[in-house]
Amino acid sequence: MPMFSSKALGDYARYSQLGLEMVAPIIAGYLLDAFVFGSEPWLTIAGAVFGLFWSLYRVIRLVEREERKERPEGVSQEQNGRVE
C-alpha cells in the first residue's frame, strides 16, 4: 500500500515549487549583487520584490484552478455564489 497517492505527491510538488519560486529570485539577486555588479543590496531587494509578486500571482492562479475543479460541471460562477 503506497504511503502517498500520486495526487498528493503532485500537490506537494506544486507547493514546493511555489516556495522555490519565491526564494530563487532573492538568491539570484544576491549573487548578481555580490559577484557581478557590486550594487548591494539593490538587486537582492529587486529579487525579493519580484519573488513576492510572482509567488502571489502563482498562488492566485493555483486557487482559481482548484476552485474550477471543485465547481460542478455546467455551474457558472454566479450560480455557485461567487460574483466577480
Inter-residue contact 54 to 25 (CB < 8 Å): yes
Which grid cell sits at 72?
Answer: 460542478
- Report residue 79: phi and psi, to 5°: -70, -25
Sequence letter at residue 7: K
Q: What is the pLDDT of residues 25-76, one digit of tens each?
A: 999 999 999 999 888 899 999 999 999 999 999 999 988 988 888 877 666 6
Quick one: which H or E segment has residue 57? helix 42-70
Model pTM score: 0.71
- Cell numbers 502517498 correspond to 4
Helix H or strand E encompassing 79: none
What the block records as the C-alpha cell of 83 is 460574483
